[in-house]
Chain A
Amino acid sequence: MHDYLTHTRGLRSWLTTLDHKRIGLMYLFTVLAFFLLGGVFALLIRLELFGPGRTIMDAATYNKIFTYHGAIMVFMVIIPAIPAAIGNFILPMMLGAKDVAFPRLNLASYYIFIAGALVASSALFLRGADTGWTFYTPYSIRTNTTATLVLAGAFIMGFSSILTGLNFIISIHKLRAPGLSWSRLPLFLWALYATSIIQVLATPVLAITLLLLVFERLFRIGIFDPAIGGDPVLFQHFFWFYSHPAVYIMILPAMGVISEVIPVFSRKPIFGYKAIAYSSFGIALVAFIVWGHHMFVSGQSELANFVFSLLTMFVAVPTGVKVFSWVATMYRGRIRFNAPMLYAFGFLQLFTIGGLTGVFLATLAINVHVTDTYFVVAHFHYVMVGGAIMALMAGLHYWFPKFWGRMYPEGPARVSFALLLAGFNLTFFPQFILGSQGMPRRYWDYLPEYTMLNRVSTAGSWFLAAGFVYAAVYLWRAMRAGEPAPANPWEANTLEWQTASPPPHDNFATAPVVTDWPYEYRDPLVPASASRSLP
């Protein structure tokens, strides 16, 4: 019986495939390639900041490098990473379906993503872009770099995100296996459902914002240009109305992966399934009413500061519920230290710091001093790299057998985890202190008193890079020559583990029927046949 990898051969079969699994892998490799590129720019930034004054590049180049780092990491890596790469592969299988609702649209989304990525990165070979990934006006209107290309690229990639979200919503609505009611939906699908709602509701506003900015640069329409009577703060409202929900597009799928990994490796049902499911949905809604906390010192009215600070406090509650539930899941469990679980520990440690410093930034008075400094840079790296990228690594290892039908080596996985965790903390924790001491962000040169902490941070970035490179090496080797993996190596209950590894082209030999709650883990190992109504 051929599996989806050997079902048909040749490049053409991959490039014109409608199989959600192959499209998922194509997304994965594209995203990882851009992650490498973005990572190289990150290392260049840290190298330049090794010491005050000019280290390896001048100010204009530095401004372009941190713009590329930001734009690539946000639009080309972290937004598509878990939803499009892992989500495309796993969602239909978890639903017990043969494919997503609109396979052709799924392939079109991938090619739209590639087109957008090419348009945006073509700027690298021209005059580049030095506006920062936030494109604040009026500087983004004045700069004579080719920022228009990056804007057009991001505009196109936005549609890939919208169409993926649309595909997932309809698939979850219409393609659930018989017996798979909403209350038996795995938490990874709840997370992807909430993410898709955000993608569909927020990304169009990014599309119109980027379109208006392109018109500003080309036709001087003046809506955001103070020289012609527009208001630059209005641009920030438009931009952050998308970009704050976008950070939840990044973190919700990561939370979904963690909600799958922890119960499996604790051999214990997830603690508070309903609470986690509803908090995913809650975060998706609250995400849309808090964007103003990015603009407390931007000249926003005091009433808006009051309203946004109060509303932002309510975002922390559902996030806290999730973190506490995960830790409670481990209580009285039987915990195995496989790589996915290690990365889940990494996620918990880093995301907790990220989340708590988020409360600092939500508090009006504190925000005034620490915003636009390295405190904010550290905060969002803890939440994005510590959260989304750690969860991506957890997901890659957890579903590695299902992707390739081979096992990854546990030893090297532990080494790379240690490197990543140590490297990350060494890189970004000093930046909290730099920020509280008042070192502003996006500085090419800094005063001598900040040198020591910047040196530590740069050293940390080398460990972080080493960790990722080492992981890439052993995963690539395991992908080709790892020892064969059984259908369900982790004895998990979700549907994708009830079929072969790697799965056949049509996912399931016989259409699956769901009889039970997916987190029905008991000890000693009782097959999940005893059907029970929902707890």
Chain B
Amino acid sequence: MTTTHHHAHHFASANDEFEAAKQGMWVFLVTEVLMFGGLFVAYGIFRGLYPDMFHEAHKFLAVNMGATNTLVLILSSITMVLAVTATQRGRRDRAVLFLVLTFLLAGCFLVVKYFEYAHKFHEGLLPGGYFVNQELKDPKAPLFFSLYFVMTGLHMVHVLVGMGLIAWLFRRTARGEFGPQYYTPVELVGFYWHFVDLVWIYLFPLLYLVG
């Protein structure tokens, strides 16, 4: 049973409404870029000031876990694109399947993240004032882990919000509200999810690989 969508009265046509919503999403992504950007600027400044500390400290990060998380997120981006294109082509069952896959991959990302954080806590590699690890003697090392926890933590919050949105999409797709005529929310959540993946694409090398 597909319900029909009627565009808001103050738009001339459904297409105008769709274009407006899409551009609104892009403007929102601009604010997200600048919000994460602030953290990348802090990373850039501190890396410039204490390059050797960064190099020393990044060895304590679990590169294998970071790499798996990167693969997981890229796979979830692929499944999200396939979900969007399936909805655009009206293939509701494929769309539902891919949305579920994306949701599970996101869950897997969080699980890996949980183990990574647990390991850090156990080793005493905590941010700022709570840093009690013994091996890493550099006085500025706590700053690296402050940045690490704030950047990956904020990103994790965005992954959680993304999972909520995907679940909301799944429910409405299952009810048949989207199809070739109306798929705006699906495309917008797709943009958001790809953006979350895009942030991680930068986070992973900068924190885990080159440090």
Contact = CB atoms under 8 A, between A and B. Distances in A.
Interface stretch (A97-105, A342-350, A402-410, A480-488): A97-105
A446 interface: no
Contacts of A228: 128-129, 142-143
Given A205-B37, A221-B149, A223-B147, A174 B128 contact: no
The bracket for how many chain A residues form the interface is 35 or more
B83 to A, nearest CB: 24
A170 interface: yes
B161 interface: no
Given A166-B24, A229-B142, A234 B127 contact: no
Nearest to A206: B38
Nearest to A205: B38
A169 interface: yes
Given A207-B35, A228-B128, A228-B129, A212 B150 contact: yes
A234 B150 CA distance: 17
Contacts of A514: none
A220 B150 CA distance: 12
Nearest to B153: A215
B150 A215 contact: yes
Interface in A211-233: 211-212, 215-216, 219-223, 225, 228-231
Interface in B138-158: 139-140, 142-143, 146-147, 149-150, 154
B143 A223 contact: yes
A529 B113 CA distance: 66
A175 interface: yes
Contacts of B30: 200-201
A222 B129 contact: yes
A212 B45 CA distance: 15
Interface in B38-62: 38-39, 41-42, 45-46, 49
Interface stretch (B15-23, B69-77, B117-125): B15-23
A102 B8 CA distance: 9
B6 interface: no
B31 A170 contact: no
Secondary structure of the B side of the interface? helix
Nearest to B50: A229
B44 to A, nearest CB: 11
A208 B39 contact: yes
Contact of A229 (B28, B34, B35, B143): B143
Contacts of A102: 20-21, 24
A329 interface: no
Given A170-B20, A221-B128, A225-B128, A204 B38 contact: yes
A222 B146 contact: yes
Contact of A170 (B8, B9, B23): B23
A228 B128 CA distance: 6
B177 interface: no
Contacts of B11: 174-175
Chain A CB count within 10 A is highest, among B42, B149, B150, for: B42
Interface residues of B, number: 39
Contacts of A234: 42, 45
Contacts of B45: 231, 234
Interface string A88-115: 0000000001110111010000000000
A392 interface: no
B142 A222 contact: yes
B25 to A, nearest CB: 9
Contacts of A207: 35
A4 to B, nearest CB: 14
Contacts of A222: 127-129, 142-143, 146
Given A162-B31, A219-B130, A223-B143, A174 B19 contact: yes
B116 interface: no
Interface in A456-490: none
A229 B8 CA distance: 54
Interface in A106-152: none
A223 B49 CA distance: 13
Contacts of A220: 127-130
Nearest to B33: A204
A175 B10 contact: yes
Chain B CB count within 10 A is highest, among A102, A202, A208, for: A208
Nearest to A511: B12
Contacts of A493: none
Contact of B38 (A97, A167, A238): A238
B10 A223 contact: no
A205 B128 contact: no
A100 B9 CA distance: 11
A219 B10 contact: no
Contacts of A230: 128, 143
A200 B35 CA distance: 11
B23 A173 contact: yes
Nearest to A220: B129
A369 to B, nearest CB: 30
B35 A205 contact: yes
Given A174-B20, A205-B37, A229 B140 contact: yes
B104 interface: no
Given A166-B24, A238-B42, 6 more contacts: A98-B10, A175-B10, A201-B30, A201-B34, A221-B149, A230-B128
- Which 9 A-B pairs rank lowest in CB-CB distance, beginning with the nearest? A220-B129, A222-B128, A208-B38, A221-B146, A98-B10, A221-B128, A204-B35, A204-B34, A204-B31
Interface of B: 8-11, 16, 19-21, 23-24, 27-28, 30-32, 34-39, 41-42, 45-46, 49, 127-130, 139-140, 142-143, 146-147, 149-150, 154
